Amino acid sequence: MVDGQRTLYTVILTAFAWLSSVQIILDWYHLKKRCQEQLSLALQGREMRNALLGRLLPCLWHGCVDRAIAVLQSVEPTQVKNQKALADLIGYLERNRPYLPCYSVRKHLGLRNSSNRGEKANDLVVSDRQKHNGMSWSKPGSVALAALTALVRNQECKRWFQTHTLSFSFAALG
């Protein structure tokens, strides 16, 4: 589950290249937020934006990217204040098409549609410590802090320091 960062896609796919069934999914919250922001820039007034979101988001929720793009392309030119913002949103959907599942089916199956657990884990492991007291961190220091904090939070210190191995499990459900 990712938030749309292309570099993050590359890192994940490289790290899990050994696992043929790995799939990247764009986080629903970030997709919805991006649509809201781009349509706020593109359209004249929040009423128009909300009306269009009411047609657009159900298409995306059900994985109908072509239909969502058609909805965006059907906007009357007189309602558009910024054509580039509208074109950017269409481009965003096209670029992220492989990562836009049928969110409704995933929800029905009990699968996650949000990266909030991963983001919260990042906050607990790294961000909270680094964002306070005006601290400045080097990349190696940040990585080291994240690794050590993750060991502690996951209760893996003893195993790691004795055997240099970690317990590994997938957390797709829940």
Token pair 């593109």 is at which residue?
A: 42
In the chain, where the domains are located: 27-108, 116-163
* Alpha-carbon radius of gyration of the chain: 20
pLDDT reading at 4 higher than 60: no
Mean pLDDT (the chain) is 82
Give the residue with greater pLDDT, 32 vs 159: 32
Alpha helices in 16-164 (DSSP H): 28-42, 46-61, 65-73, 83-95, 103-108, 116-122, 128-131, 139-153, 157-163
Report yes or no on whether pTM surpasses 0.85: no
User: For the chain, how long is the longest CA-to-CA vector?
Assistant: 68
**Average pLDDT score over residue span 150-160:** 77
Which among 25, 110, 103 has a CA at the least distance from the CA of 58?
Answer: 103
Task: Give 24-37 pLDDT, tens digit per residue.
Answer: 888 899 999 999 99
Question: What is residue 45's three-state secondary structure?
Answer: coil
Confidence of residue 59 (pLDDT cuts 50, 70, 90): very high
pLDDT reading at 174 higher than 50: no
